[in-house]
Structure 1
Amino acid sequence: MFIQMIQGPCTRQGEARRLLDSWHRDLAPGATGWLGGTHGFTDDGQLIGVIRFTSREAAMENSNRPEQGEWAARLMELMDGPMEFHDCDDVTLLMDGGSDDAGFVQIIRGRVDDPSRLKAMMTADTTALHQMRPDILGGTLAIEDDGSFIETIAFTSEAAAREGEKVEPPPEVRSELDYAMQSATYYDLHRPWFESA
Structure 2
Amino acid sequence: MFIQIIQGKCTKQDELHALADSWREELSPGATGWLGGTYGFTDDDMFIGVVRFESREAAMANSNRPEQTAWAEKFAACMDGPLTFHDCEDVTLMMDGGSDNAGFVQVIRGKVSDPSAIKSLFADTTQLQAMRPEIIGATLAIEDDGTFTETVAFTDEAAAREGEKLQPPEEIKDMLDSMMSDATFYDLHHPWFESSTH
What TM-score does the superposition give when structure 2 sets the normalisation length?
A: 0.97
Aligned to 1:183, what secondary structure does the other structure show?
Answer: strand
Q: Tell whether the 8 Å contact from 2:113 to 2:180 is kept in structure 1 after alignment.
A: no
Q: Tell whether the 8 Å contact from 1:121 to 1:176 is kept in structure 2 after alignment.
A: no
* 1:1-197 superposed matches below 5 A: 1-123=1-123, 125-197=124-196
* Displacement of 1:113: 2.3
Q: Given residue 80 of structure 1, which amino acid in structure 2 is its aligned partner?
A: D
Structure 1 unaligned spans of 5+: none
Work out the CA distance in 2 between the residues paired with 1:160 and 1:116: 29
Q: Tell whether the 8 Å contact from 2:7 to 2:84 is kept in structure 1 after alignment.
A: yes
Aligned to 2:39, what secondary structure does the other structure show?
Answer: strand
Work out the CA distance in 1 between the residues paired with 2:88 and 2:181: 21
Work out the CA distance in 2 between the residues paired with 1:87 and 1:148: 11
Q: Given residue 16 of structure 1, which amino acid in structure 2 is its aligned partner?
A: L
Residues 69-92 of structure 1: per-residue CA shift (max 9 Å, x gap):
000000111100000100000000
Q: C-alpha root-mean-square deviation of aligned residues, in Å?
A: 0.8
Aligned to 1:37, what secondary structure does the other structure show?
Answer: strand
Aligned to 1:184, what secondary structure does the other structure show?
Answer: strand
Q: Given residue 163 of structure 1, which amino acid in structure 2 is its aligned partner?
A: E
Work out the CA distance in 1 between the residues paired with 2:96 and 2:142: 18
Aligned to 2:152, what secondary structure does the other structure show?
Answer: strand
Q: Tell whether the 8 Å contact from 1:107 to 1:186 is kept in structure 2 after alignment.
A: yes
Q: Tell whether the 8 Å contact from 2:105 to 2:188 is kept in structure 1 after alignment.
A: yes
Identity of aligned residues (%): 67
Q: Given residue 71 of structure 2, which amino acid in structure 1 is its aligned partner?
A: W
Work out the CA distance in 1 between the residues paired with 2:96 and 2:42: 25
Work out the CA distance in 1 between the residues paired with 2:113 and 2:162: 31
Aligned to 2:145, what secondary structure does the other structure show?
Answer: coil
What TM-score does the superposition give when structure 1 sets the normalisation length?
A: 0.98
* Displacement of 1:96: 2.1
Aligned to 1:150, what secondary structure does the other structure show?
Answer: strand
Structure 2 unaligned spans of 5+: none
Work out the CA distance in 2 between the residues paired with 1:12 and 1:86: 22
Work out the CA distance in 2 between the residues paired with 1:159 and 1:95: 21
Q: Tell whether the 8 Å contact from 2:104 to 2:154 is kept in structure 1 after alignment.
A: yes
